[in-house]
Amino acid sequence: MARASTRSDPFNAIAEPRRRHILELLAADERSVGEIADALEMGQPSVTKHLQVLHHVGLVHVRRDGRRTMYRTNSDTLRTIHDWSGRFAQHWRSQLRRIKSHAEGKR
């Protein structure tokens, strides 16, 4: 058996380095498929496919603009990952006590 589908799990979706790069790029600004392909030097079909994976798991927002499709990172879904990894933070606290401010809102 293979791993849980990349299209249903945000953790799996960000396992691919290029998808993380896309998210990083889209965190700054909304961009079209072509702009992403240019910026990251990837083929267009490849970019489209990665964006679909990201969209399936809710990591990006999509918007149609004429014949272009604009994408933008949805940081809310990234919170799932941030929260999960934060559960192991017990030993960090001595170094970063101020992370507490995040924890307040979390639980």
Partner DNA sequence: TTGACATATTCCCATATTGGAATGTATAAC
Partner DNA sequence: GTTATACATTCCAATATGGGAATATGTCAA
Residues forming contacts to DNA in the complex (CB under 7 A) are 1-3, 5-7, 12, 16, 18-19, 32-35, 42-46, 48-53, 62, 64, 66-70
Give min distance, CB of 6 to a copy of itself, in A.
8
Give min distance, CB of 71 to a copy of itself, in A.
14
Question: Could you say which of a copy of itself, DNA, none residue 49 binds, taking C-beta under 5 to 8 angstroms by partner kind?
Answer: DNA
The one-character DSSP state at 99 is G
Judged by CB, which is closer to a copy of itself: 13, or 70? Answer: 13
Judged by CB, which is closer to DNA: 69, or 86? Answer: 69
**For 41, left (φ over 0), alpha (ψ -120 to 50), or beta?**
left
Residues 6+ apart with CB under 8 A from 9: 57
CA separation for the pair 27, 19 (Å, rounded): 12
On whether the CB atoms of residues 79 and 86 are closer than 8 A, the answer is: no
